[in-house]
């Protein structure tokens, strides 16, 4: 059966893009950082956050040749508090990535290289470099770059068993261990988010519901949910993020239909279960139709008779029966 325009548009939705949209909100983003890094202290002010370009591409010159490294972050914001600047990055993982410390280190290094390149371009334009050291590096002794602090959110159900620092990916000989500059991964697993007291209501709802989903073996049992959260109302973007994080795209679809609204979670889950039931019935019916066609063809029954039998048994139109047959 052909998909409708609505079904095709839903199929194009990617969990990453839905979750990026959720975390783009400054209040949610700041709350996440403040809880995970600062014990709830409001160090990041939502009003001082602004979106930055997520492109981390760089060109590396090797002799007469240029090599390009192309990377794109999920999200990066700048926090400006007077003269103090910091770049805060967010990466999203649906699955365990065993090279994640290397990946985040590359992102951070490319951002630092990008800052140096921007400073150099500014000096070259202004022609204000002096001395061989400044001309060689393109920056001056007093130029400063902005620190980059990144966090990785892991949405998967299996417990993260990957490395959380670069040294865990190595066997460093003992004499060299004190010389090694390690790179640590700031990782938040949604399964462990219950230990944080999020101030933002959307974040509270998001981590609570995803936790409930995984604690109940990847299901939203209605009886369990009603007992835990009677009459719970949730913002549509939060419900979409829950659906994306758990791979339940029907919840994303339902949330998009209620755009701009607060949604009763029991109603949403009942709709989800109903849709899943209908989908299951449709799959069963399609399987039955195909089996019937196969059996009648093996018996060398005339196609006109097959079409008649399909119309009669499954209440199909002439056109629908012919489509199944073809």
191 with 300, same domain: the answer is no
**Per-residue pLDDT tens over the stretch 108-130:** 998 998 899 999 999 989 999 99
195 with 307, same domain: the answer is no
Here the tokens at position 75 are 């999200």
Closest C-alpha to 196, from 35, 305, 87, 52: 35
Instruction: Give how many domains the chain has, as a whole number.
Output: 2
Query: Does residue 175 belong to any structural domain of this protein?
Result: yes
Report the largest interatomic distance among the alpha carbons of the chain, rounded to a whole angstrom: 92
* Alpha carbon distance 157, 191 (integer Å): 7
32 with 181, same domain: the answer is yes
Query: Does residue 3 belong to any structural domain of this protein?
Result: no
Query: Does residue 82 belong to any structural domain of this protein?
Result: yes
Query: Does residue 310 belong to any structural domain of this protein?
Result: yes
Query: Does residue 120 belong to any structural domain of this protein?
Result: yes
194 with 291, same domain: the answer is no
* Alpha carbon distance 74, 20 (integer Å): 7
69 with 177, same domain: the answer is yes
195 with 288, same domain: the answer is no
**pLDDT score for 278:** 46
Q: Nearest 5°: phi and psi at 65? A: -110, 150
Mean of per-residue pLDDT scores for the chain: 83
Range of the domain at 312: 282-325
Query: Does residue 239 belong to any structural domain of this protein?
Result: no
The residue among 150, 183, 199 that closes a domain is 199
166 with 313, same domain: the answer is no
Query: Does residue 38 belong to any structural domain of this protein?
Result: yes
User: Tens place of pLDDT for every residue, the chain, 326 residues?
Assistant: 455 555 555 556 788 899 999 999 999 999 999 999 999 999 999 999 999 888 776 666 666 666 667 678 889 999 998 778 899 999 999 999 999 999 999 999 989 988 999 999 999 899 999 999 989 989 999 999 999 999 999 998 889 999 999 999 999 999 999 999 999 999 999 988 989 999 999 999 999 888 888 876 555 555 666 777 777 888 999 989 998 998 878 788 888 888 899 988 777 777 666 655 545 445 556 677 787 888 888 777 888 888 877 777 766 667 667 777 77
46 with 165, same domain: the answer is yes
57 with 181, same domain: the answer is yes
The residue among 199, 228, 250 that closes a domain is 199
**pLDDT score for 1:** 47
Query: Does residue 88 belong to any structural domain of this protein?
Result: yes
122 with 20, same domain: the answer is yes
What is this structure's pTM? 0.76
Closest C-alpha to 92, from 83, 82, 100: 100
186 with 299, same domain: the answer is no
Strand pairing of 75-81 and 65-69? unpaired
The residue among 165, 182, 199 that closes a domain is 199
42 with 190, same domain: the answer is yes
79: buried, middle or exposed (CB in 10 Å: 19+, 13-18, 0-12)? buried
Query: Is residue 193 within 8 Å of residue 125, measured between CB atoms?
Result: no
């Amino acid at each position: 059966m052909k998909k409708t325009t609505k079904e095709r548009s839903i199929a194009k939705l990617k969990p990453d893009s839905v979750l990026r949209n959720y975390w783009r909100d400054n209040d949610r983003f700041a709350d996440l950082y403040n809880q995970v890094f600062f014990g709830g202290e409001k160090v990041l002010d939502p009003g001082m956050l602004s979106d930055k370009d997520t492109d981390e591409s760089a060109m590396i010159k090797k002799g007469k040749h240029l090599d390009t490294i192309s990377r794109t972050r999920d999200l990066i914001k700048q926090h400006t508090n007077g003269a103090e600047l910091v770049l805060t990055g967010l990466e999203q993982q649906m699955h365990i990535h065993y090279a994640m410390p290397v990946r985040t280190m590359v992102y951070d290094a490319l951002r630092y290289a990008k800052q140096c390149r921007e400073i150099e371009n500014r000096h070259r334009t202004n022609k204000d470099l002096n001395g061989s050291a400044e001309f060689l590096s393109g920056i001056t002794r007093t130029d400063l770059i902005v620190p980059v602090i990144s966090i990785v959110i892991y949405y998967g159900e299996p417990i993260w068993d990957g490395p959380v620092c670069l040294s865990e990916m190595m066997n460093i000989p003992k004499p060299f261990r004190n010389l090694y500059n390690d790179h640590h991964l700031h990782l938040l697993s949604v399964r462990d988010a219950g230990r944080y007291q999020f101030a933002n209501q959307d974040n509270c709802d998001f981590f609570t519901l995803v936790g409930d989903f995984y604690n109940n073996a990847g299901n939203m049992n209605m009886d369990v949910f009603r007992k835990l959260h009677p009459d719970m109302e949730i913002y549509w973007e939060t419900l979409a993020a829950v659906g994306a994080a758990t791979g339940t795209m029907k919840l994303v679809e339902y949330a998009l239909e209620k755009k701009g609204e607060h949604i009763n979670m029991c109603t949403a889950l009942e709709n989800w279960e109903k849709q899943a039931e209908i989908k299951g019935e449709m799959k069963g019916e399609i399987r039955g139709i195909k089996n019937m066609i196969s059996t009648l063809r093996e018996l060398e029954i005339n196609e006109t008779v097959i079409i008649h039998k399909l119309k009669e048994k499954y209440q199909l139109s002439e056109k629908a029966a012919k489509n199944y047959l073809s």
